[in-house]
Amino acid sequence: MRVLVAVDDSGFAEDLLRAVVTGVRHENAEALVLHVLQPVDTVPPPEMAQGYAPELEDEKQPARVLVERIAAELRKAGFTAQTGVRIGDVANTILGQAAEWRADLIAVGSHGQRSIHDFLLGSVAESVARRAGCSVAIVRRAVEN
């Protein structure tokens, strides 16, 4: 079983981690922990390389720390885990990495809150679920009492 775990820095990573550890059999399970940094302009001008986003340089190191922390927890639970930090449109990059890596499952978090942007364009989780070539688990934040 190959699970792409798409994390962001919104504070939902722990809930997503818990759901993957409790919901996926650990024997022979592989995880790719992925964080995608979205540039201000997802389509660079033709004279700039794809993925060139100097405004995100300061965010790369915290993103690496985040994915390494989640991967370490998955390894403790018995998963083989690798990490990735990519730059691009979040949903498209998750889908592209899942296809390239041949994921059996994409685990992605959902805030459970709808904004006008989500209403008009759709959330990342919804976009991934609609377009993925594999199963998708959408994990909502645990309800606090």
12-49 pLDDT tens trace: 888 899 999 999 988 899 999 999 998 876 555 555 55
User: Tokens 């688990």 belong to which residue?
Assistant: 137
Q: Compare 72 and 15 and report the one with higher pLDDT.
A: 72
Given a cut of 50, whether residue 133 has pLDDT beyond it is yes
Contacting residues for 137 by C-beta, under 8 A, at least 6 apart = 19, 20, 23, 105, 106, 107, 108
Nearest to 28 by CA among 57, 54, 3: 3
